[in-house]
């Protein structure tokens, strides 16, 4: 039962945080017409950031108390956050280079 509750919590958090993140990033991309076609890269970046947030903070406050709950290694955390920042910036670069 705890596993099912945790899965429902993950779906709720993914929906809520994904929507809030997209409201911020999506509005930034709307300022420039050239970046709108590459805005899906920003969506992937938001999902990566939510994954890092869940694995490093949110999984420890949920209902699931099973084995294997540990933070991501620092090097992986830095790599994922850096790649998501790059993915957020990349539509501006691609929009100006390819159009």
78 has pLDDT over 90: yes
CB 21 within 8 A of CB 49: yes
Nearest C-alpha neighbor of 53 from the set 26, 33, 80: 80
The domain containing residue 78 runs over which residues? Answer: 2-98
Contacts of 81 (CB under 8 A, 6+ apart): 48, 49, 52
DSSP state of 81: H
Q: What is the pTM of this model?
A: 0.89
User: For residue range 52-62, what is the model confidence (pLDDT) as tens digits?
Assistant: 999 999 888 87
For 36-52, b/e burial (b = at least 16 CB within 10 A) is: eebbebbeebbbbbbeb
Check residue 75 and give its pLDDT: 97
- CA–CA gap between residue 25 and residue 43 (Å, rounded): 8
**How many distinct structural domains can be found in the chain?**
1
User: For residue range 25-77, what is the model confidence (pLDDT) as tens digits?
Assistant: 988 888 888 888 888 999 999 999 999 999 999 888 877 777 778 899 999 99
83 has pLDDT over 90: yes
């Amino acid at each position: 039962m705890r596993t099912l509750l945790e899965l429902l919590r993950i779906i709720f958090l993914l929906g809520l945080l994904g929507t809030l993140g997209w409201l911020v990033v999506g509005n930034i991309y709307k300022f420039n017409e050239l970046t709108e076609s590459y805005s899906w890269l920003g969506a992937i970046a938001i999902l990566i950031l939510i994954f890092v947030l869940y694995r490093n903070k949110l999984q420890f406050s949920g209902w699931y108390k099973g084995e294997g709950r540990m933070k991501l290694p620092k090097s992986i955390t830095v790599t994922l956050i850096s790649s998501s920042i790059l993915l957020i910036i990349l539509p501006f670069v691609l929009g100006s280079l390819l159009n």
